[in-house]
Amino acid sequence: MTTSDPALSDLIQADPRKVAVANETIRLLGLSVQGEETISVSDPATGRVIAHVPDLDAHGALAAVDHADTAGRAWARTTPRQRANVLFAWWEILVAHTDELAHLITLEMGKPLAEARAEVKYGSDFVRWYAEEAVRPGGNFREAPDGGAQILTRRSPVGLAVLITPWNFPLAMATRKIAPALAAGCPAVIKPAILTPLTTIYSVELARTAGVPDDLIQVVTTSDAAAFSAAVLRDSRVRKVSFTGSTQVGRTLLKIASDQILRSSMELGGNAALIVFDDADLERAVDGAFAAKMRNGGQSCIAANRMYVQDGIADAFVEALSERLAAARVGHGLGDGTVLGPLIDIRAVAQMQALTDDAVSKGATLRTGGATYDSDGYFFAPTLLDEVSATADVAKVEIFGPIAAIQRFVTEDEAVARANATEFGLAGYVFTDSLDRAFNVADKLETGLVGINQGVPSNAAAPFGGVKQSGLGREGGAEGLEEYQNIRFYNIARRPTH
Ligand code: NAD
């Protein structure tokens, strides 16, 4: 269904002053597009082209490996304190450019400006965190149990890291990888998603301004991701791949990485269950569900994909969440008061419509939304589907959009079993006022992370990552540094003492 209500179309307007800030930032980037091949970057709220970036082929990607490898040799010899100081300088300059970064994120990705600012905070937090961790590279000492040796463990940089990021958090997904790589003493070649390369290019420019050696971080923009990974991941100078994106692409990359037995970190797709028990605080549950569903327009790997609500609280919860969704202002991310921006592309809009239609045809009740807008941008209304059948597509696939899909349940065991009935295992959410139940259910959820009575669990200090087919490895926390380190040990013989 398309709504051509002019009141709705009028909302999809950007504030011209904010567009000017974003355009000035793009101008400052001075993207020197070499060669004839370029990729255009568009504003998903209008479909308008906003910039062009180079379209590098495999030769260009290998040249980036050359540069990073050369710069990386000197970087690996720096002291932890030197690396920390450079990262602190980068963090400070990112924070000082919050405005420019946020406007750029909104213009190329679509999220509302307030959320883009929150991403700058979150993304730059990783740089500060790894500035702090750089001086704690780890290593320890232990006695062999038979007393015949002393064992010293040491950590060294894993080597050149290839980083591949998605479009949904253009800054945070980049800094979550670049900062620990640099802190550990590794050079990096990063390939941002082609829909949103500008924020990555800009943040790496800021890194150089802050004193990160010129060639240490290489940004490769290319329309041929497969050629990029085929060339770069088979280059013997590369020792690590860290990928964030879909499980399907992750599988492909793991296969290529197996040729060289590359250290691999995979942050892949999610299918998070959000469980609301009868004893939950209703307001807190609705706030949490709204945030877990609507942040980033639902385009987050930890978005609440399936909402399981216990019978006793279900009517009140559905009523309150429907009202919140219906009141959420849809519009250009640079518009005043926007709560929901556009989706990333037209395919995503078609997918939301198909999921809604399929769910309704299988018995779901459409409580609000379910409509596209008469606009050149890629908008879909905040939507709530109640009493969704477990056989509906929306209950099985990663939605990646603003649809809250509600199923009702009776017992705790039933909720846990249904939540775990997926091959994914990234995030889960539990809303209850019982401490006992919160831990009991969280322990049983087969996920890498659980939000308890809250909808935004990510934090630079936390080891983010999935189990099952949601991935391998962790990003953030002290664990995120280990992903870029080799652990070695020295066995020091002890002279027997008689
Ligand atoms: P995607 O897998 O289509 O693309 C991710 C990145 O991989 C992009 O840069 C893309 O150009 C690149 N890519 C695609 N094919 C490639 C190939 N053969 N070789 C090398 N690179 C290739 O995912 P997307 O649509 O950009 O992002 C959405 C997905 O990312 C969702 O499934 C979401 O759950 C997941 N995601 C996961 C996390 C996490 O931390 N677990 C975070 C954000 C997004």
Query: Quick one: CA torsion of 73, 162, 53, 168, rounded to 10 degrees?
Result: -140
**Which residue in the list 133, 186, 301, 398 is annotated as catalytic?**
301
How far apart (Å, rounded) are the C-alpha atoms in residues 450 and 461? 15
pLDDT of residue 6: 39
CA of 72 to the centre of ligand 1 (A): 26
- Tell me if residue 186 is catalytic: no
Residue 38 phi/psi, 5° resolution? -135, 160
Amino acid making up residue 458: S
Q: Which two tokens stand for residue 263?
A: 């250290």
DSSP H or E segment with residue 379? none
- Could you give the C-alpha distances from 295 to 115, 168, 455, in angstroms and in order? 8, 11, 9
Mean pLDDT of the 366-384 span: 94
CB 293 within 8 A of CB 304: yes
Counting ligand 1 atoms within 8 A of each CB, the residue from 249, 347, 483 with the most, and so the one to mutate, is 249
Strand pairing report for 238-244 and 160-164: parallel
How far apart (Å, rounded) are the C-alpha atoms in residues 259 and 270? 27
| Among 296, 407, 298, 308, CA closest to 362 | 407
Which three-class secondary structure state does DSSP give residue 467? strand
Average pLDDT, the chain: 95
Q: Which two tokens stand for residue 302?
A: 């930890």
Q: Give the range among 7-16, 83-92, 467-476 with minimum mean pLDDT.
A: 7-16
Mean pLDDT of the 8-34 span: 73
CATH topology match: 16-268 vs 272-463: no
Fold adopted by 272-463? Aldehyde Dehydrogenase; Chain A, domain 2 (3.40.309)
Q: Which two tokens stand for residue 378?
A: 């890629």
For the chain, percent of residues with pLDDT exceeding 90: 90
pLDDT of residue 117: 98
Give residue-wise pLDDT tens across range 157-175: 999 999 999 999 999 999 9
- Tell me if the pTM is above 0.85: yes
Q: Which two tokens stand for residue 196?
A: 């949103």
- Tell me if residue 267 is catalytic: yes
Q: Is residue 291 over pLDDT 80?
A: yes
Amino acid making up residue 113: L
CA of 120 to the centre of ligand 1 (A): 20
Strand partners, 49: 42
Q: Is residue 4 over pLDDT 90?
A: no
CA of 188 to the centre of ligand 1 (A): 18
pLDDT of residue 333: 96
Atom of ligand 1 nearest to the CA of 192: 9
CB 124 within 8 A of CB 131: no
- What is the chain's Cα-based Rg? 24
Residue 46: band (very low, low, confident or very high) from pLDDT cuts 50, 70, 90 = very high
Q: Which residues line ligand 1 (CB under 6 A)?
A: 164-168, 191, 193-194, 225-226, 228-229, 244-246, 249, 252-253, 267-270, 301, 398, 426, 466, 471
Q: Is residue 7 over pLDDT 50?
A: no
Residue 394 phi/psi, 5° resolution? -60, -20
**Which residue in the list 100, 108, 119, 267 is annotated as catalytic?**
267
CATH code of the region 16-268: 3.40.605.10
How far apart (Å, rounded) are the C-alpha atoms in residues 200 and 260? 27
Query: Quick one: CA torsion of 41, 44, 47, 50, rounded to 10 degrees?
Result: -30
DSSP conformation class of 337: T
| For the chain, domain boundaries | 16-268, 272-463
Q: What are the helix (H) ranges across 370-478?
A: 412-420, 435-444
Maximum C-alpha span of the chain: 93
Atom of ligand 1 nearest to the CA of 464: 40
146: number of Cβ within 10 Å: 7
